[in-house]
Copies of this chain bind each other. A is one copy, B any other.
Amino acid sequence: MEEEEIFEHIEKNRDKYIKWLTDICSIPSVAAQNRGMKESVDFISKLFKDELDCEVEVVETSGYPILYCEIGGEHEKTLSFYNHYDVQPENPIELWDSDPFKPEIRDGKIFARGVADNKGNLIARIAALSAIKDIYGNFPINLKFIIEGEEEIGSINLSDFSNLHKDKLKADACIWEFGYRDMDHTLQLTLGVKGMLYVELKLKGANTDLHSANASIIENPAWRLVWALNSLKNNNEEVLIPNFYKDIREPTNEELELLDQYFLDEEEMLDYLGLDKFINDLNGSELKHKHLYEPTMNICGFGSGYTDEGAKTVLPSEASVKIDFRLVPGQDPEKILKDLRNHLNDNGYKDIEIISHSKEKAARTLSTEEIVGSAIEAIKKVTKKEPNIVPNTPGTGPMYELCQKHGIPSVSFGVGNFSSRNHAPNENILVEDYIEGIKILVSLINQYKN
C-alpha cells in the first residue's frame, strides 16, 4: 500500500469525511433517555453499505442492538474495531455555547455531543477504510466492526453478546473506541481500562415532603445519606468498604516502568481546570500512580429536596446519590457490590436501596504485543512524534468482556484532544486531529498487515 497516495486522497475528500461526522452528530443518540437510537443504527448501516459495500448485521439485544460488520475473510490476520453509537446526555444544556446536536465548526474545532466520545473515532475508521477502498478496491487484512448502543449506560448487554457470539469477536487484535491527545498534543496510545461499578443509593423518609419545622422529630433522608456516605469514604479519600483494596493486583515492574514514561502535565492541567492542587496535594509519580493504578469512588450526582432559586424550608421525603467506582485489575465489581450492601447493613443503613447500573472488570494489554508496535509506528509516522503510552486509562469500557476475556490484545487511540470535554458541555475535537486520525488508521493497517 502506498500510504502517501491514500493520504492525498484523504486530503482531497476531507469535506466529505467531515460531513459524515457532523451528520451523525446531529442525531441525539442518548441511550439513557432513549433518543435517536434507531436513527443512528440506520445512519451507520447506510454508511457501511454505501461507502464500504458492507452489509451491517443488526444483532438485537434486550436493550439497543449491537451492529456487526465483517469485511474480507481471505486474509491471515483479522483486526477488529470496537465503537459505540450512543452518547452521554447533553445537560447542563445552558452551559453549551452551541446546540449539542447541531454540530458547529469554530476555531478549527467541531463542537457536538459525542464528537469526541466516540463518533469522531467511529467515522474516522470508516473514512480510513473508504479511502483505502477508493484507491485499492480491497483491504490487506480482514476487518470486523462491533458497534454497540449502550456504552454510556454501562454496556449492559455486551456481556451476553460476548458469550453468545465468540465467533464474531474472534480477531488477532482489537482497536478500542476512544483516544485523546495530551496538552502538548502528543497522541495517547492506551493499553487498558479501569473497571466500573455504578450504583445509585436511595433513601426514603416520610411519605411526603414536610414543612421543615418537623425536622426536630422526623428523620431527614438527606442527612442520613450524608452520614452513610461519610461511612463509605473518609476525607482522606480512603474507601472504607471492607476488603475494597484487598484483591487489587499490584502493578508489575513493566507496568511501573510505563508509569515512569507516562506524561502528565500537572501545571497545565491544574491551570486549565482552574485548580491549585490535585487530590490530597499529590504530585509526580504518586499522582500518576493514583490516576492509573488506583480505584476511585466518585459521587456523580446527589439530589434531595429543594435546589432551585431562593429559600424553601422543606424536609425532603427522599434522597439519592449516584456513585461510580473505577476499578483496577484484581477487583471484582460483584464482590464490591456485596461488600457495599453488607457495610450499609452493618452501619444502620439497611433501608438504603442499592440500584446497580453497571459492572465491568478492568483490562490491560502487554506493551510487547504486535498490535502495540504497529500502532506506535503508525502514530509516529503521521504525528511525527512518539505516542504517550498509557498502561491503562483512568476511564472505563467493556474491554475485558470483548478482548482480554478471550485472549485478544487491544489498544486504543483516537481523534480527541485534552480539552475535548467528553461527558461535559462543549464537547469537541480539532478538525486536523480528525483528519490525522483517519491517516493513522490507514498507516496502522499497512503496518499490521506485514
Contact = CB atoms under 8 A, between A and B. Distances in A.
**On chain A, which size bracket covers the interface?**
35 or more
A204 to B, nearest CB: 9
Contacts of A273: 206-208, 210, 218
Contact of A208 (B32, B198, B200, B425): B425
Interface stretch (A39-47, A304-312, A338-346): A304-312
Contacts of A275: 205-206, 218-219
B311 A217 contact: no
A291 B315 CA distance: 14
Contact of A315 (B294, B298, B303, B304): B298
A423 B217 contact: no
* Of A91, A227, A311, A358, most B-chain CB atoms within 10 Å: A311
Interface stretch (A163-171, A228-236, A373-381, A437-445): A228-236
Contacts of A279: 216-219
A124 B78 CA distance: 83
A326 B421 contact: no
Oligomer: number of copies: 2
Interface in A264-297: 273-275, 278-279, 282, 287, 290-292, 294, 296-297
Interface stretch (A4-12, A14-22, A132-140, A388-396): A388-396
A108 interface: no
A153 interface: yes
A316 interface: yes
Nearest to A117: B211
B312 A307 contact: no
A187 to B, nearest CB: 18
A393 B291 CA distance: 53
A120 interface: no
Interface of A: 31-33, 88-89, 91-92, 95, 152-154, 194, 196, 198, 200, 205-220, 222-224, 226-227, 229-230, 233-235, 273-275, 278-279, 282, 287, 290-292, 294, 296-316, 319-320, 322, 324, 326, 348, 357-358, 393-396, 421-425
A211 B395 contact: yes
B154 A278 contact: no
A88 B196 CA distance: 41
A312 B89 CA distance: 8
Shortest Cβ-Cβ A-B pairs, 9 listed: A32-B310, A303-B307, A215-B298, A301-B305, A213-B395, A207-B274, A311-B357, A206-B273, A213-B394
